[in-house]
Amino acid sequence: MSIRERIRKIKHLQNKYFICVLEYPKDIKNIASAIRNISAFGVEKLYVVGGTKIVHNFESARKNKRLKNLSVGANKWVFVKHFNTTAECVAYLRKNLYTIAVTSSHQIGKENVNLYEETFTQKRLAVWFGNESKGVSEKAVNNADMCIQIPMGGIVESLNLGTSTGIILSYIGYQRLKFVYTHKKVRFKPRGQKKLKMRSWQDFIERKD
């Protein structure tokens, strides 16, 4: 399958107005894992807060050879925007009417919501992940609309950045797509047919033409 064919096949699975924010990430392996997850689950954009030179902007992310290898080439397809500070990123998101959901495995000053019990169908949603060792900043928490928590049953309640982005973005992305399909009556024209046809959810996901 050519790149053009692949893009056409997955276009309907892209989550518009769904953004992932990484706040002061420090490990290139974790950044690469997050980029891979963002690409895989149809997240629209990646915003990076802080002083990393690895993904200072879209072009630097695309040209970084180590990032390319670690992300298996996904860096080529993920749009990246850089912010110098948390306040700058929050202001930009608020200006563009985004709901901000920070993530943490602990109670951090406001009531946490269980990932699997909450609805994430806001029109514009930014999911915010903190630093690998310090977590999300106090400023991010104070400006957030909610805090997402992954329920865990282990002694150590902690997941690395790559794992947590994978779990959360996958679940929320799937939920948002299903909401659009169910409530917005998504329709698309199958190849070779003139009339629009509503498809089953399974056909919608698999794009059976």
- List, in sequence order, every residue forming a beta bridge with 22; answer none if it has no partner: 48, 129
Higher pLDDT, 179 or 54: 179
- Each residue's pLDDT tens digit, 8-56: 544 555 668 999 999 998 888 888 888 889 888 888 889 999 866 666 6
Overall average pLDDT of the 170-178 stretch: 90
Buried b vs exposed e over 196-209: b needs ≥16 C-beta within 10 Å? eeebeeeebeeeee
Comparing 157 with 149, which gets the higher pLDDT? 149
Q: Specify the range with the lowest mean pLDDT, choosing from 69-73, 118-122, 176-180.
A: 69-73
Domain boundaries defined on the chain: 3-206
CATH number of 3-206: 3.40.1280.10
pLDDT at 194 (0 to 100)? 47
The fraction of the chain above a pLDDT of 90, given in percent, is 36
Which has more confidence, 90 or 5?
90
Instruction: Give 122's DSSP letter.
Output: -
Query: What's the first-to-final CA gap in the chain, in angstroms?
Result: 15
Largest CA distance in the chain: 57
